């Protein structure tokens, strides 16, 4: 029998995350939405608490995790591990505020890239580093394989040249994981990731973006102009394996896409919870024991949204669980991201509509959640890209065969 309850060992962690979301993030949510680009100093204490939990071993999933299937070593025991704990706690934190979660020190998407791709020596060397992720470039959009930023080996350094846009925490982080190509003619296989510490000569933050949502999180454009990075900062192997192609780089997405999907699930859950209360105050009862067609239009819409949310939630848990058990999860990671990203936007906007003038005003956080959720359907691969990946996996076609 399949047990869909939260694993018992993670319930304290999830409960703590929910308390943090309710008592620490919600109260300052509107403040930092209005004060765009101002660093939320309240997060320093929270980050220190998470670091302490991680060091003590009591906070499994509190920090960024990675997909490292090569460590399976024949163990067939079913595990509920760090990836599952991470998506569960992240969903709870985003019930509080997505932008503030993205602003958490040492919990950047670049940290997940390091955890997924770095070798053992690099894992130790970059332990405790707050890392942003620099993938997107002007003109490349979601096509990460078309990266034009170059990395040229010069002695014991790589020289990086190019421009990266929409880098989350690009100005605040300690380092940025930069995706660059060693040889454009070799295509996807030559794309590698490099850890570039903040303050490295030749790296500069060009500007910070003004955004629709997640305003608490800084989003930067970064220029690399003959930026010299030590060769040992190339994550993983420097060898270009044409047979492996883009698989090494994609291992990062197998981890980060479920995380982003979990953010969408958490934000959507917040909207549903508040909308249920507002509907009840207006005399609209949502009855789960009666067919939707026998209830009011508002109640029927709410039931449909809950069903969509449940599907997205289960896909997120499945993708994370597979990563914990060293199973290939590229298909499931993209399914989770596609479903949760779309459902998150649909639910938050529909909740604004159901709540009427209250939903559209700043009297409640519904309008903010609707703004915040849109990015979760875009970054780490848009809705359209995820559907394309899913189609390729199901049909057994390559990227060249199905574009």
| Cross-strand partners of 157 | 154, 230
Signed CA dihedral, 85, 87, 93, 96: sign only: negative
Of how many residues is the chain composed? 403
- Give the residue among 257, 259, 249 at the shortest CA–CA distance from 187: 249
Q: For 224, list phi and psi in degrees, rounded to 5.
A: -115, 115
Q: Is 323 exposed, middle or buried (0-12, 13-18, 19+ CB in 10 A)?
A: buried
Contact 138, 162 (CB under 8 A): no
Kind and range of the H or E run holding 203 = strand 203-208
Rounded distance between C-alpha atoms, residue 257 and residue 341, angstroms: 10
Distance between CA atoms of 240 and 237, rounded to whole angstroms?
A: 8
Bridge partner list, 168: 219
Closest CA to 188 of 153, 233, 240: 240
Q: Given phi > 0 = left and psi -120 to 50 = alpha, else beta, which region is 375?
A: alpha
Active site residue ranges:
380
Phi, psi of 166 (to 5 degrees): 55, 45
179 within 8 A of 191, measured Cβ to Cβ = yes
Diameter over CA atoms, the chain = 73
Contacts 24+ apart (CB under 8 A), 190-193: 190/240, 191/144, 191/145, 191/147, 191/246, 191/249, 192/151, 192/234, 192/235, 192/236, 192/238, 192/249, 193/113, 193/117, 193/234, 193/235, 193/236, 193/249, 193/252
């Amino acid at each position: 029998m399949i047990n869909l309850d939260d694993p018992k060992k993670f319930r304290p962690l999830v409960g703590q995350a929910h308390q943090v979301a309710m008592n620490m993030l919600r109260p300052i949510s509107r403040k930092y939405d209005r004060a765009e680009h101002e660093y939320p100093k309240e997060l320093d204490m929270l980050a220190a608490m998470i670091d302490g939990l991680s060091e003590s071993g009591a906070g499994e999933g509190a920090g960024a995790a990675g997909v490292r299937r090569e460590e399976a070593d024949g163990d067939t025991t079913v595990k509920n591990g760090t990836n599952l704990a991470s998506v569960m706690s992240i969903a709870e934190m985003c019930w509080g505020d997505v932008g503030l979660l993205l602003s958490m020190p040492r919990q950047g998407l670049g940290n997940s890239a390091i955890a997924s791709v770095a070798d053992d020596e690099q894992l130790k060397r970059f332990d405790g580093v707050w890392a942003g992720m620099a993938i997107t470039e002007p003109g490349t959009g979601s096509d990460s394989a078309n990266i034009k930023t170059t990395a040229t080996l010069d002695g014991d350094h790589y020289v990086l040249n190019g421009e990266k846009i929409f880098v989350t925490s690009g100005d605040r982080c300690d380092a940025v994981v930069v995706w660059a190509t060693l040889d454009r003619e070799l295509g996807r296989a030559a794309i590698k990731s490099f850890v570039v510490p903040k303050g490295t000569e030749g790296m500069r933050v060009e500007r910070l973006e003004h955004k629709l949502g997640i305003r608490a999180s800084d989003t930067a454009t970064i220029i690399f102009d003959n930026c010299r990075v030590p060769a040992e900062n190339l994550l993983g192997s420097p060898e270009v394996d044409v047979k492996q192609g883009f698989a090494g780089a994609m291992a990062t997405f197998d981890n980060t896409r479920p995380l982003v999907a979990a953010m969408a699930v958490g934000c959507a859950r917040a909207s549903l919870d508040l909308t249920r209360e507002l509907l009840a105050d207006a005399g609209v009862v949502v009855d789960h024991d009666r067919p939707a067609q026998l209830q009011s239009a508002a109640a029927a819409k709410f039931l449909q949204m809950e069903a969509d949310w449940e599907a997205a939630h289960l896909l997120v848990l499945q993708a994370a669980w597979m990563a914990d058990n060293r199973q290939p999860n590229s298909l499931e990671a993209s399914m989770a991201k596609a479903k949760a990203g779309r459902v998150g936007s649909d639910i938050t906007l529909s909740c604004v509509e159901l709540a009427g003038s209250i939903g559209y005003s700043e009297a409640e956080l519904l309008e903010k959640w609707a703004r915040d959720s849109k990015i979760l359907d875009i970054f780490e691969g848009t809705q359209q890209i995820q559907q394309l990946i899913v189609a390729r996996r199901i049909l057994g076609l390559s990227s060249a065969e199905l574009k």
